[in-house]
């Protein structure tokens, strides 16, 4: 069914999963159909030693509970405010990056290392998500593509674009669980990005996030469920824990939505480590039973990457 779906993308030359490679020793035919994830709805921790201790303890719990992937929130190592991004920004391969790579390797677990402010050689700063495979290699990197610029009357105001640059790549990487997509928080509002990840073969999309008290109650659950149901894949959103004293107060409510649009798990607002088992055969089941992608009117409309135009 998935192959038929991918063939249906007339006008595109995209491969099912052109990015990355399977971790050493894993063959495509050995794809696994169950994935036990852990989502750390954690406080923002800026002190490196405290962060290392916290993540190590979290990894130990993941090992005890047989989790195969740990997901962290957006900006888990830097306060989510414009002034802090340049202060905590580090290049790819910096100290937090290295810590995450080391932990993934030591505990032999996939680590979706939330986002870290990334400073580039030309002085730009990106809101960057990294994923490390169980051998500690960087398996994926996604620079937040849609910057969070909003001004809700009487509610949340924020302008990431005052300091951050936007990424410009769709990110899907290979795992033994099949192709996995990666997006960051505000990216969840853009159906075109999620459709492109689905067309590239993603069965799961990981979304480090930090919604707020204005848009969280209105849109958080709705957006995760709608991207899941529209694209018939799992969407996993991991938020920071709520801290009422922060300049930006996070909504929390880390969530996992399945390809039918159902919520498998959802945290409350505070610190929590949530475990959820994803049955990845649900992707094929829903695509078999409700084959929306076979009815795409690609003769009338298409979602294509710039490189395919
Ligand atoms: N950190 C973010 O991108 C926040 C996105 C958000 O709150 C929204 O409503 O969208």
Q: Give the nearest ligand 1 atom to 184 CA.
A: 3
Could you read off the pLDDT of 159-175 as tens digits, one per residue? 999 999 999 999 999 99
Q: Does residue 10 surpass a pLDDT of 50?
A: no
The reported pLDDT for the residue numbered 307 is 79
The reported pLDDT for the residue numbered 31 is 74
Can you read off the two tokens belonging to residue 241?
Answer: 């824990």
Name the pLDDT band for 6 (thresholds 50, 70, 90): very low
Q: Give the nearest ligand 1 atom to 215 CA.
A: 9
Q: Does residue 23 surpass a pLDDT of 70?
A: no
Q: Does residue 2 surpass a pLDDT of 50?
A: no
Q: Give the nearest ligand 1 atom to 187 CA.
A: 3
Mutate to test the pocket of ligand 1, among 82, 157, 185 (most ligand atoms within 8 A of CB): 185
Strands (E) in 260-309, as ranges, are: 263-266, 272-279
Q: Does residue 153 surpass a pLDDT of 70?
A: yes
* Cβ atoms of residues 44 and 84 within 8 Å: no
Distance, in Å, from the CA atom of 67 to the CA atom of 59, rounded to the nearest integer, reads 9
Catalytic residue among 141, 185, 200, 282: 185
Q: Phi/psi of residue 41, each to 5°?
A: -85, 90
Mean pLDDT, to the nearest integer, of 175-203? 98
Q: Does residue 28 surpass a pLDDT of 80?
A: no
- For 165-177, give one letter per residue: b (16+ CB within 10 A) or e: bebeebbbbbbbb
Average pLDDT, the chain: 92
Residues with CB under 6 A from ligand 1: 74, 148, 185-186, 189, 210-212, 215, 219
Can you read off the two tokens belonging to residue 257?
Answer: 């939505």
User: Active site includes 185?
Assistant: yes
Maximum CA pair distance of the chain? 56
User: Active site includes 144?
Assistant: yes
Distance, in Å, from the CA atom of 308 to the CA atom of 71, rounded to the nearest integer, reads 31
Cα 184 to ligand 1 centre (Å): 9
Mutate to test the pocket of ligand 1, among 81, 117, 215 (most ligand atoms within 8 A of CB): 215
Mean pLDDT, to the nearest integer, of 263-273? 98
Ligand 1, atom 6: closest residue by C-alpha: 211
The reported pLDDT for the residue numbered 210 is 98
* Cβ atoms of residues 194 and 200 within 8 Å: no
Name the pLDDT band for 1 (thresholds 50, 70, 90): very low
Can you read off the two tokens belonging to residue 67?
Answer: 């989790």
Q: Give the nearest ligand 1 atom to 220 CA.
A: 9
The reported pLDDT for the residue numbered 17 is 35
Name the pLDDT band for 30 (thresholds 50, 70, 90): low
- Any idea what DSSP says for residue 260? T
Instruction: Say which residues have a Cβ less than 8 Å from residue 25's Cβ, sequence separation at least 6.
Output: none
Ligand 1, atom 5: closest residue by C-alpha: 186
- Any idea what DSSP says for residue 294? G
Q: Does residue 254 surpass a pLDDT of 90?
A: yes
Distance, in Å, from the CA atom of 232 to the CA atom of 115, rounded to the nearest integer, reads 25
The reported pLDDT for the residue numbered 232 is 98
Cα 60 to ligand 1 centre (Å): 30
Instruction: Say which residues have a Cβ less than 8 Å from residue 266's Cβ, sequence separation at least 6.
Output: 221, 253, 254, 255, 256
Q: Does residue 26 surpass a pLDDT of 70?
A: no
Catalytic residue among 17, 62, 68, 74: 74
The percentage of the chain sitting over the pLDDT mark of 90, rounded to a whole number, equals: 88
Q: How many CB atoms lie within 10 A of CB 1?
A: 16
Cα 216 to ligand 1 centre (Å): 8
Q: Does residue 110 surpass a pLDDT of 60?
A: yes
Can you read off the two tokens belonging to residue 231?
Answer: 């694209």
């Amino acid at each position: 069914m998935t192959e038929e779906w991918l063939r249906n993308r007339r006008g595109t030359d995209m491969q099912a999963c052109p990015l990355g490679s399977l971790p050493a020793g894993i063959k495509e035919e050995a794809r696994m159909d169950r994935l036990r994830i852990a989502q750390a709805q954690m406080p923002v921790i800026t002190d490196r030693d405290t962060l290392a201790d916290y993540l190590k303890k979290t990894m130990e719990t993941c090992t005890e509970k047989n989790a195969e992937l740990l997901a962290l929130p957006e900006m888990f190592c830097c306060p989510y405010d414009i002034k802090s991004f340049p202060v905590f920004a580090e290049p790819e391969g910096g100290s937090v990056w290295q810590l995450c790579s080391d932990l993934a390797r030591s505990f032999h677990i996939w680590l979706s290392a939330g986002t870290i402010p990334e400073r580039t050689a030309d002085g730009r700063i990106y809101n960057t998500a990294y994923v490390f495979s169980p051998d500690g290699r960087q398996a994926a990197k996604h620079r937040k593509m849609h910057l969070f610029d909003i001004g809700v009357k009487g509610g949340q105001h924020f302008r990431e674009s005052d300091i951050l640059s936007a990424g410009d790549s769709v990110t899907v990487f290979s795992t033994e669980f099949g192709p996995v997509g990666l997006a960051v928080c505000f990216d969840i509002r853009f159906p075109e990005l999620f459709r492109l990840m689905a067309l590239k073969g993603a069965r799961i999309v990981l979304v480090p996030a930090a919604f707020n008290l204005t848009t969280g109650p209105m849109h958080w659950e709705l957006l995760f469920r709608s991207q899941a149901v529209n694209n018939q894949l799992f969407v996993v959103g991991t938020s920071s824990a709520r801290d009422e004293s922060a300049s930006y107060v996070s909504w929390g409510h880390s969530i996992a939505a399945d390809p039918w649009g159902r919520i498998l798990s959802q945290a409350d607002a505070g610190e929590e480590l949530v475990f959820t088992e994803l049955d990845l055969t649900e992707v094929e089941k829903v695509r078999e039973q409700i084959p929306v992608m076979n009815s795409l009117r690609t003769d009338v409309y298409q979602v294509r990457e710039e490189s395919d135009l």
